[in-house]
Amino acid sequence: MNIGIVDADLLGRKKHRFPNLACEKISGYYKEQGYQTELVLDFNDLYKYDKVFVSKVFTDTEMPPFLEQSDTVQFGGTGFYFDKAPKLPDCIEHHMPDYHLYDKWIEKEVRAKKLFCEKKNKKFNEQYFMQQFKEYTDYSIGFLTRGCFRKCKFCVNQKYNRVFLHSPLSEFLDTARKKICLLDDNFLGIGYKERKRMFSELLTSGKRFKFKQGLDERLLDDEICKILFSSKYDGDITFAFDNIEDYDVIHNKLKIIRQYKNRKSVKFYVLVGFGSTDALDIENAFKRIELLFHYGCLPYIMRFQNKNDTPWKISEFRSFYITLARWCNQPSIVKKMSFREFCEANQELHKNKSTLCSSMDAMRMFENKYPDIARKYFDIRFEI
Ligand code: SF4
């Protein structure tokens, strides 16, 4: 039997670059049962397969209108069912992922780029080009734990009231891969003993590891900091600062982090556009950014959206939110420039000097309406 596996986000989103773990597990399971599995790269090819699994993570990924669930086509994932997404059967959920599911697609992308460069007489830097595929080629991926008890209203994670063990590291660790990427919802929320054991396994593996979701800063203590900041952590250690009401708690935790941070880069997701999309929401974002700057931590603006709404896109500050994210989400820029300087730099590059660029326009519009907020925050700087 030929099984087609569709990563709908890969086909439906332009710059999507992260493997769909459910697709890899489905492939791994069926291959072991002796079936042929293949990543589908074109919805028009679905007729070639006896059975098709379509998985989607993002609710706003578009699907071809002709594609419907049937006896041979099965849908799954949060992109279809949001927080009601049915679980994979245990035999698949706990199967070693097929980390080679995407190999042919990557080869195809490389060939196409090479050809493009040849035609344009340009040099092709394969190593640089391959960077975008590193999550597909370099990492073992999985969940050590699942679930979360916080039930933040903006989060898809509403199913459980606790954090519980999900997979042992050995279940998804491919020793040939250089690194480990953990998708846990709230790893630090697991009990002390289990957390210690899992940290120890990660350290013993000798591989660099990272948690893809922001870690729960509110659960940090000295011991966790000691482990995290002395480990072979891969990239920025990332936490979440979603709610201004956590200001004092986060402030206290930042004081702990400061003792361990050294040269490690620490990043915080800063959620905006959830409770409202008004001046207060923007002021709250800047208040969080200011605190993070003070402790040498990088903010990363996350604009809220769910399966039905993207409130910031229909707000009067749409352009401002875009500018704020462009400023914050580029570390090399946010470390060097205040928000005002960033907008001025954009204006400098603007071709038509007699008009305002969109960033400058958004900044001016806000400043005219809310001069006090602008005075307080538009010139704040990252502190090392
Ligand atoms: S703490 Fe994180 S995982 Fe838990 S509900 Fe809130 S956003 Fe979701």
Give, using CA atoms, the residue closest to atom 6 of ligand 1: 152
The two structure tokens encoding residue 221: 């203590």
Q: Give the relative orientation of helices 279-294 and 358-369 as an angle to the nearest 10 degrees.
A: 110
Cα 224 to middle of ligand 1, angstroms: 19
Q: Residue 287: exposed, middle, or buried by beta-carbon count in 10 A (0-12, 13-18, 19+)?
A: middle
The two structure tokens encoding residue 313: 């896109």
- Round to whole Å and give the CA distance between 180 and 305: 28
Cα 243 to middle of ligand 1, angstroms: 11
Instruction: For each of the domains in the chain, give its residue range(s) and CATH number, in order of start.
Output: 2-101 (no CATH), 102-133 (no CATH), 134-377 (3.80.30)
pLDDT in tens, 62-101: 999 999 999 999 999 989 988 788 899 999 999 999 999 9
Mean pLDDT, rounded, of the chain: 95
The two structure tokens encoding residue 222: 């000295």
Question: Of the candidates 249, 33, 4, 201, which has an alpha carbon nearest to the alpha carbon of residue 257?
Answer: 249
Say what the pTM is. 0.91
Which ligand 1 atom is at minimum distance from the Cα of 151? 5
Give buried/exposed letters for 368-378 (b at 16+ CB in 10 A, else e).
eebeebbeebb
Cα 60 to middle of ligand 1, angstroms: 21
Query: How many percent of the chain have pLDDT more than 90?
Result: 89
pLDDT in tens, 205-252: 999 999 999 899 999 999 999 999 999 999 999 999 999 999 999 999
- Residue 156 is predicted with a pLDDT of 83
Contact 181, 135 (CB under 8 A): yes
pLDDT at 361 over 80: yes
Q: Residues with beta carbon inside 6 Å of ligand 1? A: 148, 150-152, 155, 157, 185-186, 216
Which ligand 1 atom is at minimum distance from the Cα of 216? 1
Least confident segment among 267-281, 305-319, 320-334:
305-319
- Residue 305 is predicted with a pLDDT of 87
Give, using CA atoms, the residue closest to atom 8 of ligand 1: 155
Residue 111: in which H helix or E strand, if any?
Answer: helix 103-120
